[in-house]
Amino acid sequence: MGTMLSFKEVTKIYPGAEHIKAINELSFDLEDGEICTLVGPSGCGKSTAMKMVNRLIPMTSGKILIDGQNIDRLNTIELRRGIGYVIQNIGLFPNMTIGENIAIIPKMKGWDEGRIKERVETLLDIVNLPAEEYIDRYPRELSGGQQQRIGVARGMAIDPPVMLMDEPFGAIDPINRDHLQNEFLKIQAKLKKTIVFVTHDIDEAIKMGDKVCLLKDGKLVQFASPEKMLTEPANDFVRDFVGGDRTLKRLNLLTIRTAIRPDPPVVLETEKSATAGTIMTETGAKHLITVDSEGRLTGYIDHEALKKDGETVEQIKCETEAFLPDTSSLKDGLSEIFSHDLEFLIVLDDSKRVIGTLYTDDIKKILRG
Amino acid sequence: MTSNFLTTFFRKFVPALVAIVIVLWLYKYYGALEYTLKNLAEFFRLIYEHLILVIISMAAAIAVGITLGVIMTRKALEGISPVIMAVVNVWQSVPSLGVIALAYGILPLLGMSGIGIVPALIALFMHAVAPIVRNTYAGVESVSSDVIESATGMGMTQKQILFDIEIPNAMPVIMGGVRTSTAIIVGTAPLAFLIGGGGLGFWIFTGIALVDMGIMLAGAVPVALLAMFVDYLLAMLEKVVVSKGIQADQYA
Ligand SMILES: Nc1ncnc2c1ncn2[C@@H]1O[C@H](COP(=O)(O)OP(=O)(O)OP(=O)(O)O)[C@@H](O)[C@H]1O
Ligand SMILES: [Mg+2]
């Protein structure tokens, strides 16, 4: 860890528009492996800020450092080849196959054929487009979403530590966008690139960003984690921009883990039914979660179940679908609770072991802060 | 696959075949074949002169036209390119005979002969270069700015962008210009005879002067077949130089 990308009082004045600072003394630091979403109203300078990083737009004053190096000291071509670049309209080269598109920078860097081929296949695998099927196709033979994924793959071709993405999912319908966002976050969890991600959609900014950088008229209004931006908006502009449903947005952002109630009332399914009855009377719990010897969820019992004949818990337990993994969002959790009219939700870890429960009361407490 | 092949076959080859059969029948009927066989040596000389006219002016037009068209798309010339294009457009509207006449009239003013193969070549070249310049310019200009931006942002040099991205993506339009200008050259080449440029125009104009269909067709039919053959060659060439990713008839 450490700072990977920093803006130091960067200012941009376009020639011919001398009275406007398209970017006005912008400063922020981005840690290695973080996604920073640049967001703000149209014309606020998001694209300008981003394109100064690879010098597509020359800055007027200030400094940009990548991994401590002033980008002005680097050769433009070398600088750009070290930064992944993905734009809204993708810009795949129509005259080249998917494989050639991805291979273009590795080729220019003089990689040998074998290494290039291997890299292209790995990348296609990462973006979930099987190489055998896609490598020899042309861009026009792909759907918009698939082209976008190729755009991302091409941007990552030489495994650059820093990537710039200008509204990469802007041209994609909402359902596929959500899907691509999730997929991209999964990829990012593995690859840990430092990414500047431009979007005009605050929901996307909050979802994708480790840091959100909100701009207005070229000025930084707030630079903070999404959670912080939602709970502590710097001023009315931020409050308005993130919207009146700030609280609900936080539900989307927070995982169930943050509101989990530990020490759930569990009973081993090999226990005697009577034991379960005793536990319920003693603890006053209306439900007991039943687990196997590994602690994995198998079902639940309530007072109705206790009336059934059966020697062991296993014989009297009921099936349940009232569970979610702890990595789900609070929004999903709440939605599950409401739609099935549950008293609580059972929370599981990766291996389906019961680790706690989720109550609406706890969610309220979290949101109140 | 098969049905696809059959459609192409009926749409393209059958009409061409019919045309060739008709032309060859006229050729025989009016005694052009006989005349040609009798004057075989001259026939070969005229074909040779004709091919020289077509090939040299074509090659020059392609080389100069593409180069000029590309240069006009460069940033430094942004201001004057529209002016050059306007001139090119006006120039292109001058009829073939007019261009030949101009060469005949103007070259002597420049201290060159207005008669012979060189003025003929200059006239054909001048006539054919316009569509290529125009299409090259338009083709390169029309390459999507997103494509150029991502190429630049990825770290491709100007030269790499020109040769790997801009020209290949402009190729369908450039080839359109090349085909237009070839058609013009093949069609105009017989007129070269009028200013002493030689070629099959000799028989055509002789035939006309003598009101002898045989001699006229002995010159005209090879010219027509040559036009078809050259167009076919260019269609083949187009398949080779235009990437499959942007070939127009892929889904036609
Ligand atoms: N080449 C240019 N010349 C002059 N002014 C420019 C130029 N490019 C952008 N601007 C101005 O700079 C400001 C910032 O533009 P920029 O493209 O960075 O905005 P943006 O936040 O990306 O907007 P959008 O969300 O609409 O893409 C705008 O006011 C714009 O008009
Ligand atoms: Mg923008």
Note whether A229 and A270 are same-domain residues. no
Q: Using CB atoms, which residue from B146, B154, B243 is nearest to A105? A: B154
Q: How close B167 comes to chain A (CA, Å)?
A: 10
Q: How far is the CA of A50 from the centre of ligand 2 (A)?
A: 9
**Does B248 score more than 80 pLDDT?**
no
A95-151 per-position pLDDT tens digit: 999 999 999 999 999 999 999 999 999 999 888 899 999 999 999 999 888 898 899
Note whether A282 and A211 are same-domain residues. no
What mean pLDDT is reported for chain B? Answer: 89
Note whether A329 and A245 are same-domain residues. no
Residue A224 or residue A369, greater confidence: A224
> Quick one: pLDDT at residue B56?
95
B34 close contact with A: CB closer than 8 A: no
The candidate with the shortest Cα–Cα distance to A145, out of A178, A117, A104, is A178
Q: What is the CA radius of gyration of chain A?
A: 26
A276-311 per-position pLDDT tens digit: 888 888 888 888 899 998 989 998 888 888 888 888
Note whether A40 and A51 are same-domain residues. yes
C-alpha span between A231 and A247 (Å, rounded): 8
> Quick one: pLDDT at residue A86?
92
Contact residues, chain B, for A51 at CB < 8 Å:
153
Q: What percent of chain B has pLDDT over 90?
A: 55
A318 close contact with B: CB closer than 8 A: no
**Does B3 score more than 70 pLDDT?**
no
Question: Is CATH 1.10.3720.10 the classification given to domain B31-250?
Answer: yes
Residue nearest atom 12 of ligand 1, based on CA coordinates: A22
> Quick one: pLDDT at residue B2?
58
Contact A94 B245 (CB under 8 A): yes
Contact A95 B171 (CB under 8 A): yes
**Does A164 score more than 90 pLDDT?**
yes
Q: How far is the CA of A197 from the centre of ligand 1 (A)?
A: 16
HEC profile for chain B?
Answer: CHHHHHHHHHHHHHHHHHHHHHHHHHHHHCCHHHHHHHCHHHHHHHHHHHHHHHHHHHHHHHHHHHHHHHHHHCHHHCCCHHHHHHHHHHHHCCCHHHHHHHHHHHHHHHCCCCCCHHHHHHHHHHHHHHHHHHHHHHHHHCCCHHHHHHHHHHCCCHHHHHHHHHHHHHHHHHHHHHHHHHHHHHHHHHHHHHHCCCCCHHHHHHHHHCCCHHHHHHHHHHHHHHHHHHHHHHHHHHHHHCCCCCCHHHHC
Note whether A268 and A250 are same-domain residues. no
Q: What percent of chain A has pLDDT over 70?
A: 99
CATH, residue A40: 3.40.50.300
For a substitution probing ligand 1, which of A37, A46, A217 has the most ligand atoms within 8 Å of its CB? A46
A138 close contact with B: CB closer than 8 A: yes
Note whether A330 and A232 are same-domain residues. no
pLDDT bin (cut points 50, 70, 90) of residue A57 is: very high
C-alpha span between B36 and A332 (Å, rounded): 88
Note whether A200 and A86 are same-domain residues. yes
Note whether A171 and A307 are same-domain residues. no
pLDDT bin (cut points 50, 70, 90) of residue A193 is: very high
Note whether A183 and A288 are same-domain residues. no
Q: What global pTM score does this model have?
A: 0.81
Q: How close A181 comes to chain B (CA, Å)?
A: 21
What mean pLDDT is reported for chain A? Answer: 90
pLDDT bin (cut points 50, 70, 90) of residue B251 is: very low
> Quick one: pLDDT at residue B178?
94
**Does B1 score more than 70 pLDDT?**
no
Residues 6+ apart with CB under 8 A from B70: B136, B137, B140, B162, B166, B167
Q: A66-75, A250-259, B135-144, B212-221: lowest mean pLDDT where?
A: A250-259
Which of A254, A269, A286 is the endpoint of a domain? A254
**Does B100 score more than 80 pLDDT?**
yes
Ligand 1: which residues within 6 Å by Cβ? A 14, 16-17, 22, 42-48, 200
pLDDT bin (cut points 50, 70, 90) of residue B8 is: confident
Q: What percent of chain A has pLDDT over 90?
A: 51
CATH, residue A357: 3.10.580.10
Note whether A247 and A263 are same-domain residues. no
Note whether A208 and A237 are same-domain residues. yes
Note whether A277 and A290 are same-domain residues. yes
Q: How far is the CA of B237 from the centre of ligand 1 (A)?
A: 44
Which of A226, A254, A282 is the endpoint of a domain? A254
> Quick one: pLDDT at residue B250?
47
Task: Please determine, for the modelled complex, whether the ipTM score is greater than 0.85.
Answer: no
Residue nearest atom 14 of ligand 1, based on CA coordinates: A45
Which of A254, A287, A319 is the endpoint of a domain? A254
User: Average pLDDT for residues B220-237, to the nearest whole number?
Assistant: 90
| Cα nearest neighbour of B152 on chain A | A56
> Quick one: pLDDT at residue A1?
63
Which range scores top for mean pLDDT: A268-282, B6-20, B48-62, B238-252?
B48-62
Contact A80 B157 (CB under 8 A): no
Q: How close A190 comes to chain B (CA, Å)?
A: 23
Number of domains in chain A: 2
**Does A190 score more than 80 pLDDT?**
yes
> Quick one: pLDDT at residue B252?
41
Full domain range(s) for residue A176: 3-254
A369 close contact with B: CB closer than 8 A: no
Q: How close B248 comes to chain A (CA, Å)?
A: 12
B204-221 per-position pLDDT tens digit: 999 999 999 999 999 999
Residues 6+ apart with CB under 8 A from A286: A280, A302, A303, A343
